[in-house]
Amino acid sequence: KPPVLLCDYRAPAWRVTDVELEFDLDPAATIVAARLAVERDPSEPAAPLRLDAEQLELLDLRVDGRRLAPEEYRFETDALTILLAVPRARIETRVRIAPDTNTALQGLYASGGGQSRFLLTQCEAEGFRRITPFPDRPDVLARYTVTLRADKARFPLLLANGNADGAGDLDGGRHWARFVDPHPKPSYLFALVAGRLESIEDCFVTAEGRRVRLFIHAEPDAIGRCGWAMQCLKMAMRWDEERFGRCYDLDVFHIVATHDFTMGAMENKGLNVFNAKYLLADPERATDDGYRHVLAVVGHEYFHNWSGNRVTCRDWFQLSLKEGLTVYREQEFESDLASRTLRRIEDVRVLWRAQFSEDAGPLAHPVRPDRYSEINNFYTATVYEKGAELVRMLASVLGRDGFRRGLDRYFERNDGRAATVEDFLAALEEANDVRLSPWLAWYAQAGTPTLEASERYDAAARCYELTLAQHTAPTPGQPRKQALPIPVVVALFDERGARLPLRLDGEAGTAERERVLPLLTERATFRFVDVPVRPVASLLRGYSAPVRLRWNADADDLAVQIRHDDDGFNRWFAADALSRRLFAQALASGAPDARQLDVWTRSLAQALADPALDPALVAEMLSIADAGSLAEGLVDIDPDAVHVARARVETALAQALAAPLLARYGELSGATDAQAVEPAAQARRRLRNACLAAVCRADPAQLPLAAAQFAQARNLTDRLGALSVLLSAQAAGAEEALDAFAARHAGDALVLDQWLTLQAVQPHDETVEHVAALTAHPAFRWTNPNNVYALVGAFALRNPRAFHRADGAGYRFVADAVARLDTLTPQVSARLATAFGGWRRFEPLRRALMHRELQRLAARDALSPDLADIVGRSLA
């Protein structure tokens, strides 16, 4: 199949104005009757009506009530094409589909087992064509009326998008319900749910005075864990009104939880579907991270109601228009409600680990790709996380009010439309009377820019010069790169942490305390005057641009930042920079530089002793980057050497701080808020677990502390934290603890997924065999994406030491899993296969072994388009 190209975009020749759907629901065979009102674009007089159609059994086809003769249409494997002479028509189709055997989890499928097996849909990106023949592209917006009919005992709850519009009983124990969605929408936002689910209800009155009924529906054993999500939903609705002036626009909002989902959640209009993992939470069965993820994902999907649904994408190349913007909105939501610094650190860690490595390999693509073979492979860290960074840079350039004005303009101009990145930039430009066209290059150019900083201080002239230069390495299909606009936020400090003035040469007026240096060309020098002493520069504050900063700052200057910077993010950034430098030294020569190590550990000792510092920030400073992130910029990677060098730095810190870590651990153990989930309680647990890990690393004789914490834990964060320490130390009693954990949480799929993950990420030699054995555990099913990601995904993507075992056993195991999954859930197999994407960056032996597995996959018959695309691009 030839790739789809952005430059080939053409507006649809036929529009659909209204859709009426009738479903006779049955897991084995569901009948879907559709009535479409279609209209031809007058400029396309000859175009036939092309409806996408996949895996449908066509039972009937009529145009304006007349059944078509065979020569009047073509029904192929991917489309139903109708030759129409009239400019508008009513198309009626009847098809049969089989939800029960749909393991791809796209279109209409079944979730759960036994009594509570229920039906639901997933349409984004191209699943609607597996439900009914339709122009399944985001720029066809239609009004939907949906009638569902089903057995009342098996499917008492019937839901579709929009407001309820009648329900009643039918003969034979069946019933019906109708829904009208007044907002025109693309087909990817269609959803229905039918099953025996339990519900909780709440209510929200919008700023416009609309009374909205809120529902969360889940299987009976899960409904008791939905309260937190409901609170999060109400917080999100209020926040979007206050921060962005966006109100909800239907009388009802539903969320449904499922355990069978290929991703996190889906923003279907008025009927969000959630992976249970991002919806359920209680102290016994969710970690603190779990609670925060629920907040973030409930917010994210809700915010899509404007950034995605009211204003949607013209085509899938514009995916980041909704995803980058919505991730940004989600980040701001959590930053406003919890800790901005922490959320920033987490986002930057994800960006470095997932996006930078994507950008450095064969799967690199721009935030707005210009071609794709399989769009489902473009729901990537680049489109989501880097896309959010681009929005963040634009917001910082325009300022808070300017960005709000621009976004208001964007929503107003494009409401009910399918928009492009250009529409977004145009709205921001017009509302602020600025020119943003240089920013399009950020959307079009793949690869991570390297920002090189160098400095010079002239004491006699009281002048400080900062030179910034940018460079982006070639990526597939883009050999030459252009300079991008890079906003570099800076502040200058003296060595005691007092701010220094920021007046540039030739400027009059008072000096600012923090400013944005716009780097618009390949290189620029900024000359600050009246600088009384050699300054300590705090660069890229708040991580003001998604670039790799190369700056050989003096270790003592970094220590000043760790101690005094008033940007919490940059305190962490400085600590991280120093730890990376020590890691690089350990990797190159076996040991970190003693003096710099001492600077680092003493700075962290001070942070640990500082009662004014957020304990969560201290925990983050103590947690050095994972091996994948540390190896990100390297070539000829030897994963064993990376592991050893990282462990050396980690152990050196733990030993240097052993006594204060133990003391802080003890202090934090006195807290009585074991079941509290407020940020402050979470922060204390985070630091306590970080202390525990370090204390036991420095001295295995302390492992009984972990055993005791495991035995006494009153929440999942403490229990898992302790178990993790026992496992990574391969402590006596670790096996028993694992078994006790599994017994305690038997039957709880989400908790057992974490139990699987914990075992999958152990950097031990025998982890491969252990993980392979766990695929036979009753808690694991190949057809369940959560299970697969928890076990195989964690092993392949988060355990570089074991995945890259020198005999290739890790590669073989993962490639076999990918092949097996490809016949079940292609989207999941394609995502797992990205673990091989970086193969060229490893040392020759691993490179050859990984290459062989990719070739073995490529040689298989009947690869799914999803997997064929990843393997093909990885080998190209």
User: Which residues would be at the binding site for Zn ion (CB under 5 A)?
Assistant: 323, 326
How far, in Å, CA of 265 to CA of 644, rounded?
38
266 binds ligand B3K (CB under 6 A): yes
Instruction: Give yes or no for residue 268 binding ligand B3K (CB under 6 A).
Output: no
Site for ligand B3K in 11-30 (CB under 6 A): none
Residues 6+ apart with CB under 8 A from 384: 320, 323, 324, 327
SS3 of residue 33 by DSSP = strand
Provide the minimum distance between the beta carbon of 295 and ligand B3K in the complex, in angstroms, as a whole number: 14
Among 267, 347, 614, 620, binds ligand B3K (CB under 6 A): 267
CA distances from 315 to 42, 174, 375, 583 (A): 21, 39, 10, 44
Give the pairing of strands 73-75 and 30-40: unpaired
Phi-psi region of 661 (alpha: psi -120 to 50; beta: other; left: phi over 0): alpha
682 vs 825 by CB, closer to ligand B3K:
825
How many residues would you count in the chain? 876
User: Smallest gap, in angstroms, from Cβ of residue 426 to Zn ion?
Assistant: 23
CB of 733 to Zn ion, least distance (A): 43
Residue (of 440, 396, 329) closest to 545 by Cα position: 396
Cβ proximity to Zn ion, 300 vs 697, nearer residue: 300
Of Zn ion, ligand B3K, none, which one does residue 275 interact with (CB within 5 to 8 Å by kind)? none
Q: For the CB of residue 376, give the shortest distance to ligand B3K in the complex, in Å.
A: 4
Nearest residue to ligand B3K, by Cβ distance, number only: 124
| Residue 641: CA count within 13 A, CB half-sphere | 16
Q: Give which of ligand B3K, Zn ion, none residue 263 binds (C-beta under 5 to 8 Å, depending on kind).
A: ligand B3K
In the complex, least distance from residue 256 CB atom to ligand B3K, rounded to whole angstroms: 14
222-261 footprint of ligand B3K as x/- string (CB under 6 A): ----------------------------------------
Residue 379 binds ligand B3K (CB under 6 A): yes
Stretch that binds ligand B3K, among 7-15, 265-273, 621-629, 726-734 (CB under 6 A): 265-273
Nearer to ligand B3K, 535 or 826 (CB): 826
Distance, CA of 333 to CA of 619 (rounded, Å): 23
Tokens of 323: 């995803």
Give min distance, CB of 476 to Zn ion, in A: 26
Residue 822 partner contact from Zn ion, ligand B3K, none using kind-dependent CB cut-offs of 5 to 8 Å = none
Partnered with residue 179 across adjacent β-strands are 146, 164
The encoded tokens of residue 721 equal: 């934290």
Determine the interface stretch with ligand B3K among 43-51, 300-308, 517-525, 810-818 (rule: CB under 6 A): 300-308
Catalytic residues: 301
Complex with Zn ion: residue 278 or 811, whichever CB lies closer? 278
* Closer CB to Zn ion, 189 or 821, in the complex: 189
Cα maximum dimension of the chain: 95
* CA distances (Å), origin 752, targets 116, 442, 780, 802: 20, 41, 9, 21
Closest CA to 514 of 531, 489, 533, 539: 489
Beta strand 252-258 with 211-218 is parallel
Nearer to ligand B3K, 304 or 344 (CB): 304
Which of ligand B3K, Zn ion, none is residue 124 near (CB under 5 to 8 Å by kind)?
ligand B3K
User: For residues 54 and 124, which CB has a smaller minimum distance to ligand B3K in the complex?
Assistant: 124
Whose Cβ is closer to ligand B3K: residue 78's or residue 530's? 78
Residue 381 as a binder of ligand B3K (CB under 6 A): the answer is no
From the CB of 379, what's the least distance to ligand B3K, in Å?
5
The three-class DSSP label of residue 274 is strand
| Residue 83, C-beta contacts closer than 8 angstroms, at least 6 positions apart | 48, 72, 73
Question: For residues 286, 291, 295 and 300, what is the CA-based torsion angle, rounded to 10 degrees?
Answer: -60
Task: Based on the shown chain and the rule CB under 6 A, indicate whether residue 263 belongs to the binding site for ligand B3K.
Answer: yes
Among residues 124, 332, 347, 374, which is the contact residue for ligand B3K, using CB under 6 A? 124
Taking the least distance from each CB to ligand B3K, the nearer of 753 and 866 is 866
Total binding residues for ligand B3K by CB under 6 A? Answer: 12
* Partner from Zn ion, ligand B3K, none contacting 266, C-beta within 5 to 8 A by type: ligand B3K
376 binds, among ligand B3K, Zn ion, none (CB under 5 to 8 A by kind): ligand B3K
Please report how many Cα atoms fall inside a 13 Å half-sphere around the Cα of residue 792, on the Cβ side.
32
User: 3-class DSSP state for residue 44?
Assistant: coil
In terms of Cα–Cα distance, which of 830, 831, 854 is closest to 842?
Answer: 854
**With 0-12 CB in 10 A as exposed, 13-18 as middle and 19+ as buried, what is 34?**
buried
Return the number of the residue (278 or 836) whose C-beta is nearest ligand B3K: 278
376 touches ligand B3K (CB under 6 A): yes
Q: Report, in Å, the least distance between residue 138 CB and Zn ion.
A: 14
With CB under 6 A as the contact rule, the residue among 26, 139, 249, 323 that binds ligand B3K is 323
Task: Give the integer Cα–Cα distance in Å for 510 and 507.
Answer: 9
Minimum CB separation of residue 391 from Zn ion in Å reads 13
Task: Name which of ligand B3K, Zn ion, none residue 125 binds, using a CB cut-off of 5 to 8 Å depending on partner kind.
Answer: ligand B3K
The span from the CA of 254 to the CA of 217, in Å, is 8
- Our finding on whether 318 is near ligand B3K (CB under 6 A) is no
Q: In angstroms, give the least distance from the CB of 752 to ligand B3K.
A: 25
Contact code string over 552-591 relative to ligand B3K, x by CB under 6 A: ----------------------------------------
Chosen from Zn ion, ligand B3K, none, partner binding at 379 (C-beta under 5 to 8 Å by type) = ligand B3K
- Report the residue from 105, 108, 125, 707 that binds ligand B3K according to the rule CB under 6 A: 125
Tally DSSP H helices, then E strands, for the chain: 29, 33
Among the residues of 451-495, which ranges form H helices? none
3-class secondary structure per residue, 799-865: CHHHHCCCCCHHHHHHHHHHHHHHCCCHHHHHHHHHHHCCHHHECHHHHHHHHHHHHHHHCCCCCCH
- 3-state SS class at 183: strand
What is the rounded CA–CA span in Å between residue 873 and residue 841? Answer: 15
Among 301, 334, 614, 632, binds ligand B3K (CB under 6 A): 301
Task: Please state the closest distance from residue 377 (CB atom) to ligand B3K, in A.
Answer: 9
Give the nearer residue to Zn ion in terms of CB position, either 320 or 561.
320
Question: Should residue 805 be labelled a site residue for ligand B3K when binding is judged by CB under 6 A?
Answer: no
Q: Under a CB-based contact definition with an 8 Å cutoff, are residues 162 and 170 in contact?
A: no
Local structure of 422: helix, strand or coil: helix
Number of CB atoms found within 10 A of residue 289's CB: 15
- Please identify, using beta-carbon distances, which residue of 63 and 237 lies nearer to ligand B3K: 237
Assess 302 for contact with ligand B3K (CB under 6 A).
Answer: no
Q: Which is nearer to Zn ion, 424 or 782 (CB)?
A: 424
Local structure of 672: helix, strand or coil: coil
The site partner of 799 among ligand B3K, Zn ion, none (C-beta below 5 to 8 Å per kind) is none
Using the structure block, give the residue that is written with the tokens 């093909």.
872
Q: Give the nearest distance from C-beta 508 to ligand B3K in angstroms.
A: 48
Binding site for ligand B3K (CB under 6 A): 124-125, 263, 265-267, 300-301, 304, 323, 376, 379
